[in-house]
Structure 1
């Protein structure tokens, strides 16, 4: 059995999953969270201001994504309540990336059609935000036991 120097060599430690498997788990948790966010927003929107409905849906989606990642993708890295704050911060950074993509496209480039807004906010913005969220989640929220980030897998 392999021993790990991170725990003083005191016992067997399972190796971290390859980054492809980690990314797949992250995307599955994120997809479920997105569905929860969307469903809650659509349910709340007829009754609440759209920004309040979206804020509540965003909070619920973050919570679903955190639970999915903490109990699924990163379950071997430990679960601590303080991680939720970091996870929420990482998700806010991802949301800022999406808004920035939409803002640049709509206001700076003058691409104001609904299709352009959808492509920039939900296409390009979501892709870039997902990369930010994945990096932040694996390095800031659920880091490997003191090792640097490894992008091999």
Structure 2
């Protein structure tokens, strides 16, 4: 049964937003673990003196994981363009978010002179948080813009 009143449509829109936020959070949590974990492995090994470079590598790997999770799960009902267009917008959006994250680390490490691993991790988390806010907004506005399609699969995420 389709929503008929303004209140029903508003409830439906809030429900869609809520489900997308939860799924985005799960995909983001996995990507966060990959990003922070890989950055720290790189900072302890081959990129000990290059925190910004370590961030670029770790964020790139995390972005690839996020693309798969968000396209296949979070925003799978928002198809409005071919996959290669979505991928281009997705990676452009994540490139901007990566600049936000790397900028936070560069500002802390080089600008403020906070060169410890702990300071790099705090700057990394701040950058990830700011980048995450930007990404969620950009994914909904540009990458997966179309209104959600009706889920006709026998198994739905709606419980």
TM-score bracket for the superposition, by shorter chain length: 0.5 to 0.7
Correspondence for 1:144 = 146
Per-residue deviation at 1:15? 5.2
Secondary structure at the counterpart of residue 112 of structure 1: coil
Gaps of 5+ in 2: 5-11, 148-159
TM-score, length of structure 2 as denominator length: 0.64
TM-score, length of structure 1 as denominator length: 0.66
Work out whether 1:133 is the aligned partner of 2:149. no
Choose which of 80, 97, 106 in structure 2 pairs with 1:103. Answer: 106
On the 8 A contact 2:93/2:138 being kept in 1, the answer is yes
Q: List structure 1 segments (4+ residues) > 6 angstroms apart after TM superposition.
A: 38-45, 48-56
Per-residue deviation at 1:49? 7.7
Give the direction of change, closer, same or farther, for the CA distance of 1:49–1:104 in structure 2 (3 Å limit).
Answer: closer
* Alignment root-mean-square deviation, CA: 3.6
Give the direction of change, closer, same or farther, for the CA distance of 1:110–1:35 in structure 2 (3 Å limit).
Answer: closer
Gaps of 5+ in 1: 5-13, 146-153
Counterparts of residues 24-103 of structure 1 (less than 5 Å): 24-35=22-33, 58-78=59-79, 80-103=83-106
